[in-house]
Amino acid sequence: MSNVNLLYEKIMTLPQSLQNILEPRMNKEKIKQITITLVIMYVCSAIFSYTQAIQMTNVSNKFAKQLRSRISIKINKLPLKYFDRHQTGDILSRVTNDVDTIAQSMNQSLGTLVTSLTLFFGSIIMMFVTNYIMALTAIGASLIGFFGMSLILKKSQKYFVARQVELGKLNGHIEEVYSGLNVVKVYNGKKKANEEFDKLNQKVCESNQKSQFLSGLMQPLMGFIGNFGYVAVCIVGALLTMNGKISFGVIVAFIVYVRLFTNPLSQIAQALTALQTTAAASERVFEFVDEEEMDNQKYITKRLDKRSVKGKIEFENVVFQYDNNDKPTIHNFTATANPGQKIAIVGPTGAGKTTMVNLLMKFYNINSGDIKIDGVSTKDLSRENIHDLFTMVLQDTWLFEGTIKENIIYNMKDVSDERIEEVCKDVGLHHFIKTLPKGYDSLLSENDSVSAGQRQLLTIARAMIEESPFLILDEATSNVDTRTEELVQEAMDKLTEGKTSFIIAHRLSTIKNADLILVMKDGNIIEQGNHEQLIAKKGAYAELYNSQFEL
C-alpha cells in the first residue's frame, strides 16, 4: 500500500499480538544513553576549547616576552657597526611590530591548526574504516587542493617577507622624520618627506595586496575541492551501490566525512596564511638575534681598579678602518698621555678625532697596533672595566624620562643631594632648576621645553658626579653660550684636576690651557705641543686658531 496512513489504519484492525510485532518502537534507553554521551562530549569539547584558548594565550605571550628579553640582551651585545648599517626605525620595527605579529599569529593560528589536523586525520581513519575505495576516492580528489595550496604558499611567501621588510623601512622613515621634524619644517621639506612616505607606503601596500591576494585564493580553492569531493564520492558510491558492494547509508556517511575532511583543509589554509606572516616576521627577528656579537670577554681576567689607576695612556701605531670604507680612518697613530695631563685633540672635520675616542673606549676593535692603560693593553681588559674607568660628555645630549635628580645621578649610587646641588651650581644649572615647579624632583622628558644648552649642562653635571680617573669631552660646550661656557670651563678645570683628560673641540679658545694639543689630519698626528708652541710654529694649528677670528 502506498498510503502510509491507510497502512497504519490497517495495522490497528489486526489482533494485538500482531500489532506488537508490526508497530514501530523506539529504544528509549538507547536514546537516553546516546543523549548523555553527546552532552558529555559537548561539555568536554567546550572545556578543552576554553583550556586551549587560555594555554595558547599564555604560550604566545610568554614566547613574545622571551623574544623581547633576548632582543634586549642582544642589543647590548651588538657592535656599533651594526647600528651604523641599520636604521633605528627598522630595529624598533623588529622589536615591536614583528614580535607582536608572531605573538598574535601564534595565539590565533596554532590552536586552529592543531584542531584542524586532528579532525583531518580522524576523518581519514573513519573513511578507511568504513570503505577504503570511497576513502581513496575522497583523498584523491583532495590531492588537487594540496598541490594548489603548495603552489600558492610557495608563490606568496616572498611577498609576506617583502611586506615586513618594507614595513620596517617605512617605520625607519617615520622615526627619522619625526626625530628631525624641526629640520623638516625649517627647510620646507614636508613635500619631500610626504613623497618619500607615499613611496614607501605604496610598496607596503603592494606587497600586502599581492600576499593577501595569493593567500586569499586558498579559501575558494578549498571550497571547490570540497564540492569536487562530494561529486566524486557520489559517483563512485553510486557505482558501488549498483554492484551491491555498499549500502546507500555508506554514501550518506561519506558525504559527512568529506565535509569533515575538507573543512579542516580550509581552516588549515587560513592558519597557513597567518603563519606565512609569522614566518616573515620571525625571519627578521631571528636574523637580528643571530647577528654577529662583539667578541666574548669572559676569558679576560685582568682588571684595573679605578681607585688605584695612575692615568697613563699610550697609543702605539694604531690603525683602524671602518667596514664600509676603502681606506683606513686612522693611520699609525702614536701618542702618549701622562697621568693628570689635559690632552686636546683638534683638527678638521673627518680627521678621526671621535674615532680615536671610540677606539679608546673599545666601542670598535682596532685593526693593528695597541692602546695601553697604565701599561696594560685594552685587548686584555673587558669593555665594562674600560667604561668604568672613563667619564664621557658627548656633543649629543640625552635626557631620560625621570626627574632632574635621576638624570644627573644616572646609574650611580649613594650620591647626596648636597653633592648634586654643588655640582649644579658649578655648571650654572642651579638657578634654572630652582625655577622649576618641583626643583630637582621635577620630571623631564623629551617633550619638555629644555634648551639644548641646558641639556648639555645636565650631561656635564652628570659627568662631574662620577669619580673616574679618565675624562673624555667631545665638544662638551658646543651648545652653550659664551658666558655659560666660562662657568663650565671653570667647572671643567675642577673636574679635570688629577684626571687624564681628552678634549675634542672645534672652538679652540676652550683648549688654550691644555697640557698637550694633538693636531690630527687624515687619521694621523701632524703637530703636537701646547698652545704657545703650536702658535709659534705657524703651522696647521696656528691656521685653525687664527681662522676663528677672520671675518
SS3 at position 403? strand
Task: Check pLDDT > 50 for residue 551.
Answer: no
Task: Check pLDDT > 50 for residue 296.
Answer: yes
- Mean pLDDT, to the nearest integer, of 425-452? 76
Radius of gyration of the chain (CA): 38
Q: What is the pLDDT of residue 36?
A: 92
Q: Which CATH architecture has domain 78-289?
A: Up-down Bundle (1.20)
Q: String of b and e for 384-416 (b: at least 16 CB within 10 Å)?
A: ebbebbbbbbbbebebeeebbbebbbbeeeeee
Q: Are 78-289 and 313-547 the same fold in CATH? A: no
Q: What is the pLDDT of residue 479?
A: 62
Cα gap 408→399, rounded to integer Å: 9
Instruction: Find cell 605604496 and name the residue.
Output: 202
Q: What is the pLDDT of residue 53?
A: 82
515 neighbors 491 (Cβ within 8 angstroms) = no
The pTM for the full model equals 0.61
359 neighbors 318 (Cβ within 8 angstroms) = yes
Q: What is the pLDDT of residue 71?
A: 84
Nine-digit cell at 409?
645621578
146 neighbors 153 (Cβ within 8 angstroms) = no
Q: Phi and psi (nearest 5°) for 221?
A: -65, -45
Q: State CA 484 to chain mean position distance.
A: 40
Cα gap 72→128, rounded to integer Å: 52
Structural domain boundaries in the chain: 78-289, 313-547
Task: Check pLDDT > 90 for residue 499.
Answer: no
Query: Among 156, 164, 149, which residue's Cα sits nearest to residue 214?
Result: 156
Four-point Cα dihedral 261, 265, 266, 271, nearest 10: 140
8-state DSSP, 347: -
CATH number, span 313-547: 3.40.50.300
pLDDT band at 478 (very low <50, low <70, confident <90, very high): low
pLDDT band at 39 (very low <50, low <70, confident <90, very high): very high
CB count, 10 Å around CB of 271? 23
345-373 pLDDT, tens digit each: 888 777 777 788 888 888 888 888 888 88
